[in-house]
Structure 1
Amino acid sequence: MGKQKTYKNFLKVTVILLSTLFGIGYLPILGGTFASLAGVFTFILFFKSNLSFFLFTLITIFISFPLSSWGERIFEKKDAKEIVIDDFSGMLISLLFLPKKGPFIFLAFLLFRLFDFLKIYPANKLEKLKGGFGIVGDDLCAGIYTNIFLHVFKFILKISS
């Protein structure tokens, strides 16, 4: 019985660490903004190739759904403010296949936060889904909007990666 309790405690701590992005979600204000900044710094500091960043983004998105659902149960609140892995995941999508240039990164951050705040259709509908799908869905939508906007901008200005 002791091993099972230890295992459950380990899982709970793991879910809390990952869903709060190692405690960022516990910040009293702007947790989502700081989680988005963590996504920016992850992009800048740790990834040299588009492929490795793409794979990291896919894995992060994949684990965001169950982590957010489990986090919601642990925090006993719908879309608990402590859960910020959704903002991190959305920011990663915003940066996919973009040049690692300051203006693009800055615009990606600003646009992602704007789209996340505005909840433009279908983000407003996705947010109403239950569990991890509702928590993560609207942020993924904001990330997709940001990414499309910046790729169109890049194409119009004929900027190379």
Structure 2
Amino acid sequence: MNNKRLFNLKRPHQFFGLGFGTGLAPIAPGTFGTLAALPFIFITMHYPLWLQIVFAVVISVFGIWACGKTADDLGVHDHPAIVWDEVAGYYITMIGTALSWQTLLVGFLLFRFFDIVKPGPIRVLDKRAHGGFGIMIDDVLAGIFSLICLQALIKVGLLPF
């Protein structure tokens, strides 16, 4: 069956699961989906750290539902167009970070690296977890790994702030 006929951005879970439509990009949908996190990052990064963490938890838990339901609609577990997990992962990467083009770029590159390469526990979770949780958990973990690396680069002075 042609999955393109199953995409329907008028359905709320698909609108979010497909990253506001960015997951429908003909090439590199995960990369475009990652960029869909930018409005959330710009809006919330001046909030207290605890509120950024709460927001990350909320968008991640919400993503379990949205991604799982979208995957059910498409009949494909973790279809490439499902990118809300990338939105959550990149958002997590940027928690507590002072924004500059350097931190945004390095955070983006770190997150894409961990999301694509899936080292160690990320790969294990990606293979073992299923449903909406399975779609989300590897990107959440990639976001946490990226957050740690980004903060380390900042602390040792390799990035401004």
**Same topology, TM > 0.5:** yes
Residue of structure 2 aligned with 1:33, choices 24, 31, 39: 31
Which residue in 1 is equivalent to 2:5?
none
> Aligned ranges for residues 15-26 of structure 1 at < 5 Å?
15-26=13-24
Q: Aligned partners of 2:148 and 2:114: how far apart in 1?
A: 12
Equivalent residue letter for 2:69 = W
Q: Aligned partners of 2:87 and 2:139: how far apart in 1?
A: 9
Equivalent residue letter for 2:80 = K
| Alignment gaps of 5+ in structure 2 | 1-9
SS of residue matched to 2:134: helix
The 8 Å contact of residues 50 and 96 in structure 1, kept in 2 or not, is answered as: no
Larger Rg: 1
Q: Aligned partners of 1:26 and 1:97: how far apart in 2?
A: 30
Q: CA deviation at 1:158?
A: 8.6
Change in 2 beyond 3 A, CA 1:28/1:160: closer
Which residue in 1 is equivalent to 2:91?
92
The 8 Å contact of residues 18 and 24 in structure 2, kept in 1 or not, is answered as: yes
The 8 Å contact of residues 93 and 143 in structure 1, kept in 2 or not, is answered as: yes
TM-score when normalising by structure 2: 0.84
The 8 Å contact of residues 40 and 109 in structure 1, kept in 2 or not, is answered as: no
TM-score when normalising by structure 1: 0.84
> CA-atom RMSD, angstroms?
1.9
Which residue in 2 is equivalent to 1:60?
59
SS of residue matched to 1:23: helix
| Alignment gaps of 5+ in structure 1 | 1-11
Equivalent residue letter for 1:34 = F
- 1:115-146 per-residue CA deviation (whole Å, 9 max, x = no partner) reads 11110111101112111122111111111111
Identity of aligned residues (%): 28
Q: Aligned partners of 1:26 and 1:159: how far apart in 2?
A: 33
- 1:55-107 per-residue CA deviation (whole Å, 9 max, x = no partner) reads 32221011011211111110111111121100100000000001112211110
Q: Aligned partners of 2:13 and 2:114: how far apart in 1?
A: 27
Q: Aligned partners of 2:158 and 2:108: how far apart in 1?
A: 21
The 8 Å contact of residues 102 and 159 in structure 2, kept in 1 or not, is answered as: no
Q: CA deviation at 1:22?
A: 1.7
Which residue in 2 is equivalent to 1:43?
41
